[in-house]
Amino acid sequence: MIVRPSENWFRLLFVWNGSVLQSIIPQLLFMAAVSTLAVFTQGRIFGEKIPLNTAPFTLFGLALAIFLAFRNNASYGRFNEARHLWGSLLISTRALTSQVLCYVPEQANKFQLAQTTIAFIYALKHQLRNTDPMPDLVRLLGRDQAELLRAKQYKPTALLNDIRRELAQTERHPQVGETKLWMLDAQINELGAAVGGCERIASTPIPFSYSVLLHRTVYAYCVMLPFGLVDSTEFFTPLLCVFISYTLLALEAIASEVAEPFTTAPNALALDAMSRNIERSILELCGRPLPEAVAPIRLYHLT
């Protein structure tokens, strides 16, 4: 996720870090070459004039803009849902920790339950990013308990089950009635629902045919555009075509990044920072020292 201070309108025109411009420079250079070729050949290929003008590009561009808007809305919908799910994880983990600290009898290892809750968050982050969770699990749970989780395919679910099992053992205590146990179980169910929502987003990408169709349409439009403008814009054709191509190609690139919110791409969710924020919040409730917050790296990139 890109985290930048607010810029004034003039400096925002020249922002480099945090934009997708650097990722589409090869495509823009290709478009500049095609546009320059169209100018020098006067819109001819192998000596034959391509009979194009601005009228069909106006109609075709309107349809392409609508399709791009649909693609970006679908991508942002996935990003927004993922952010809401991680917001609900923060709320539910705070509530569960607070309820454990206040309602569970002193005989239970409350801090161990809090550590297991933190480990659950890190296990989910690593599952969504397909990275190794063992260093974080060893740090939070100890090597012995972490090794028991190594063979588990769905480690977040296994950790939730451990929390539920530990809380179920307190049912026979006179201070813990069915109502309090039901309240604790409801928070665990909320965490499980958030895990399922994240898994749904991660395992169900936008249909590939949409991406292929949009990709081909954008490039076909951009490649044909210089031959339709060259008669009216002449030597300004490369400048206009590169600018129009930048808009279309950048929208496609942004949609592709935002559609996968759990990666480490610049416009994906900052799961490292979110996980650390949840850890800090839980440890503060437990009265323990807080680790440092995750700071942006590589110039405003927060992972």
Q: What is the pLDDT of residue 266?
A: 80
For tokens 């749970």, name the residue: 141
Residue bearing the bigger pLDDT, 192 or 292? 192
* Range with the largest mean pLDDT of 18-22, 55-59, 191-195: 191-195
Tell whether the model's pLDDT for residue 43 goes beyond 80: no
Rounded to 5 degrees, φ, ψ at 44 are -110, 145
Q: Distance between CA atoms of 254 and 250, rounded to whole angstroms?
A: 6
Tell whether the model's pLDDT for residue 49 goes beyond 90: no
Amino acid 217 reads T
- 3 near 195, Cβ under 8 Å? no
pLDDT above 90 as % of the chain:
27
Tell whether the model's pLDDT for residue 174 goes beyond 60: no
Count of alpha carbons within 13 Å of 149, Cβ hemisphere only? 29
pTM score, whole prediction = 0.86
Residue bearing the bigger pLDDT, 56 or 80? 80
Q: Hey, CA dihedral for 175, 176, 180, 184, is it positive or negative?
A: positive
Residue bearing the bigger pLDDT, 192 or 61? 192
Residue bearing the bigger pLDDT, 288 or 59? 288
- 163 near 117, Cβ under 8 Å? yes
Q: What is the pLDDT of residue 126?
A: 93
Nearest alpha carbon to residue 89 among 204, 196, 203, 202: 196
Residue bearing the bigger pLDDT, 297 or 125? 125
The per-residue pLDDT for range 68-125, each reduced to its tens digit, is: 888 889 889 999 999 999 999 999 999 999 988 888 777 668 888 899 999 999 999 9
Q: Residue range 216-234: average pLDDT?
A: 84
DSSP state of 236: G
The per-residue pLDDT for range 117-139, each reduced to its tens digit, is: 999 999 999 999 999 999 989 99
Q: Residue range 153-171: average pLDDT?
A: 86
Q: What is the pLDDT of residue 175?
A: 60
Q: Domain ranges in the chain? A: 64-206+259-285
Residue 56 neighbours by CB under 8 Å, 6+ apart: 228
Look at residue 279 and give its three-state secondary structure. Answer: helix
Amino acid 257 reads E
Tell whether the model's pLDDT for residue 220 goes beyond 70: yes
The pair of three-digit structure tokens given for residue 187, joined into one six-digit string: 């928070």
Count of alpha carbons within 13 Å of 302, Cβ hemisphere only? 16
Tell whether the model's pLDDT for residue 264 goes beyond 90: no
Per DSSP (E only), the strands in the chain are 44-45, 48-49
Q: Distance between CA atoms of 91 and 85, rounded to whole angstroms?
A: 10
Q: Distance between CA atoms of 74 and 113, rounded to whole angstroms?
A: 38
Least reliable range by pLDDT among 36-40, 55-59, 191-195, 294-298: 294-298
Q: What is the pLDDT of residue 192?
A: 93
